Structure 1
Amino acid sequence: MGAHFTHEFPFDPAYGQTLDDLLHVGAPAAPEDFDAFWRAGYASALRVDPAPETGPLEEERDGVRIFAVSYTSVGGVRIGGRLVLPAEGPVEHGFVIGHGYGGRDAAGPDVPLPLPHSAALLPCVRGMGDRSLLPGIPGTADAHVLHGIGSRESYVIGACVADLWCAASALLALVPELDRRGGPGPGPGSGPVPGPGLGYLGESFGGGLGALALPWDARFAAGQLTVPTFGNHPLRLTLPCAGSGESVRAYHRAHPGVTDVLRYFDAATAATRVRVPVLVAAALFDPAVPPPGQFAVFNGLAGERELRVLSAGHFEHPGTESEVRELALARREFFARQNV
């Protein structure tokens, strides 16, 4: 599969890497208290009463009804998004679906859902999209990715991960028939979820957040990550790009000590703690999210894993539509085999 396209970027979005090279990109070692930091964050999110509120019906298509929804996340922040429910019949599966750094202004291509008879919560994490804009949090990717980056406690990425955990709590409150697991487990090494769990999907920004969220929350039984970001920060800091990572690179040049914070938000490091099955779609050519970081997430996964290799990510090319269709089919087949 080729990874070279005509483009006008001042760098090579394939970074001179072959597929074999990419399959050998590793994950950075975790800080000593990495697990403790994330377990504490997850415990805080579980203590939040999401108090979800469903708004009016916004759209009906593809066998589902789409409603406005809001819920409470850590810090008392109200998060907005969309709730997707079957138009007819019982709910048999549940999903939380993250979004890219472009935000989310509609349910868009996340519907249809991977499996029939599914419910899903599609949150706009804090500061993003048309539903979760907040005073003091920038709404653009290049500024959002730097918000609070001075410390691990204040970095917005940690709060965005918590928004996903609280989205799971909100979905289970809204669709109680999904709550069949007997309670969340303590994190990595806790064993399989007893009974069906939720599925997680995320692309780009949502893929990176998903990798950070999945290890600690046993309510999720499987995940699918497409061109995930935040993988292998030490390597990412050396690779120019057209995405949010370029803002982090610029900040790092002026504040080299930020590497101590980024170690806690490395999606590839977190992947080494993921025990549930995960399907990753990673690209050979991507100007926004460097492929070495994407493959670092896949390579780091500790549990059952599947890989779909894309020709390109964040880049329209003649094969884009066919690859999107093929990935949708692979996603459906993947989740059909999982305990969701």
Structure 2
Amino acid sequence: MTLYDLPLDALRSYRSASAEPDDFDGFWADTLARARSHDLGARFEPVDAGLTTVEVYDVTYAGFGGHPIRAWLVLPAGESGPLPVVVESIGYGGGRGLPHAHLLWASAGFAHFVMDSRGQGSMWSEGVTADPVGSAPSHPGFLTQGIEAPETFYYRRLITDAVRAVEAAHAHPRVDAARTAVIGESQGGGVALALAALLPGLLAIAPDMPFLCDFPRAVTITDHIPYSEVGNYLRTHRTSGERVRRTLSYFDGVHFAARCRAPALFSVALQDTTCPPSTVFAAYNAYAGRTKEIEIYDFNDHEGGGSVQQAAQLRWLPKMLAA
């Protein structure tokens, strides 16, 4: 794959044409108020995962609609706390998987909370959380489920689950709620942007190749999933374009980024055909926090920086969450 998007100089100044809805803040305030009307009920069940350097808890808590959401909490063994916490959302189609896949942040001395994505977890990493909410006709995948209205859209549920995941992580006695970071790749990066906007007390955010950003450009510049699901849906539902654009505007990472204040470490891959680099820069350029950086991987597709980016986060995040 060669470079196909804007040149880097143009990316650094690119601004999205995504139109923000007038009631964006009211929509999300109402959504979270409804979710918080349900008892969080966070439960932490110890799990013997055959690991000696970490302690693992199987977590259940109430997400959107009070629905049960699963997660892992991984803690460094023998650390009494309180520990800074890294809350992670998973990439598109994946689930929380198995505990031994989540050793990095606990090995660095952090509590690590990994949210399962409702209804996902059958494409590349196993999930166990069902989505009890039905959907009108949609294209295979998740990006068009309930897309005819923001109230029914799948990502209203997923982002709300993630807000409640941060609150569930804070419910554990060995977690220092005042030192919280959110991270994620792709879909997880897009969700992290939403969290940094909706939870102003976060100390850091690290979104890698974030999905769910600059929908007007994303759905027209790439024919890769997940963005291609929108075009495929509209190819059949020919009169739904305006309703779909309105729905997506409530979930665009560009609008969340404009409300974020926490220090941020982004990453982007310039040959990424899944989350085009212009859509990542759209969120980065809109990001309102005074402290922000972006790592650029010139010759990578959606695998991004991989372990090199993890090493960058390991250098950066401890400074952000220092006591």
1:24-35 alignment, distance < 5 Å: 24-27=13-16, 28-35=18-25
Instruction: Please report the TM-score for the alignment, with normalisation by the length of structure 2.
Output: 0.86
Residue of 271, 278, 301 corresponding to 1:285? 271
* Secondary structure of 1:143's aligned partner: coil
Residue of 222, 227, 230 corresponding to 2:212? 230
Q: In the alignment, is residue 256 of structure 1 matched against residue 241 of structure 2?
A: yes
> Which amino acid in structure 1 is aligned with residue 129 of structure 2?
S
- In structure 2, C-alpha distance between the alignment counterparts of 1:250 and 1:335, rounded to whole Å: 39
* Secondary structure of 1:309's aligned partner: strand
Residue 193 of structure 1 corresponds to: none
> Which amino acid in structure 1 is aligned with residue 285 of structure 2?
N
> Which amino acid in structure 2 is aligned with residue 269 of structure 1?
H
**Shift, 1:78, TM fit:** 0.3
1:1-340 alignment, distance < 5 Å: 4=2, 14-27=3-16, 28-59=18-49, 61=51, 63-91=53-81, 92-104=83-95, 105-107=97-99, 109-113=101-105, 116-129=108-121, 130-135=127-132, 142-175=140-173, 177-179=175-177, 196-253=178-235, 254=238, 255-257=240-242, 258-303=244-289, 304-310=291-297, 311-315=299-303, 323-339=305-321
* Secondary structure of 1:237's aligned partner: helix
- In structure 1, C-alpha distance between the alignment counterparts of 2:112 and 2:57, rounded to whole Å: 11
> Which amino acid in structure 1 is aligned with residue 131 of structure 2?
L
* Secondary structure of 1:90's aligned partner: coil
> Which amino acid in structure 1 is aligned with residue 62 of structure 2?
T
- Equivalent residues of 2:224, 2:273 under 8 A apart: yes
- Equivalent residues of 2:89, 2:184 under 8 A apart: yes
Structure 2 unmatched ranges of 5 or more = 122-126
Q: Deviations over 1:25-56 (max 9, x none)?
A: 21334211112222222333344322122234
Q: Which moved more, 1:90-99 or 1:60-69?
A: 60-69
**Shift, 1:215, TM fit:** 0.8
Q: Percent identity?
A: 26
Instruction: Please report the TM-score for the alignment, with normalisation by the length of structure 1.
Output: 0.82
**Where has structure 1 moved over 6 Å in runs of 4 or more?**
none
Q: Which moved more, 1:58-67 or 1:76-85?
A: 58-67
Q: Which moved more, 1:128-137 or 1:145-154?
A: 128-137
- Equivalent residues of 2:206, 2:266 under 8 A apart: yes
Structure 1 unmatched ranges of 5 or more = 5-13, 180-195
* Secondary structure of 2:60's aligned partner: strand
- In structure 2, C-alpha distance between the alignment counterparts of 1:108 and 1:47, rounded to whole Å: 34
- Equivalent residues of 1:141, 1:244 under 8 A apart: no
**Shift, 1:204, TM fit:** 0.4
Tell me: CA distance 1:224–1:137, structure 2 relative to 1, closer, same or farther (3 Å).
Answer: farther
Q: Deviations over 1:163-207 (max 9, x none)?
A: 11111111111236523xxxxxxxxxxxxxxxx331101110111
* Secondary structure of 1:265's aligned partner: coil
- Equivalent residues of 1:60, 1:66 under 8 A apart: no
- In structure 2, C-alpha distance between the alignment counterparts of 1:298 and 1:114, rounded to whole Å: 28
* Secondary structure of 1:45's aligned partner: helix
- In structure 1, C-alpha distance between the alignment counterparts of 2:152 and 2:45, rounded to whole Å: 31
- Equivalent residues of 1:207, 1:229 under 8 A apart: yes
- In structure 2, C-alpha distance between the alignment counterparts of 1:17 and 1:176, rounded to whole Å: 46
Tell me: CA distance 1:177–1:134, structure 2 relative to 1, closer, same or farther (3 Å).
Answer: closer
Q: Which moved more, 1:201-210 or 1:216-225?
A: 216-225
- In structure 2, C-alpha distance between the alignment counterparts of 1:58 and 1:327, rounded to whole Å: 30
* Secondary structure of 2:13's aligned partner: coil
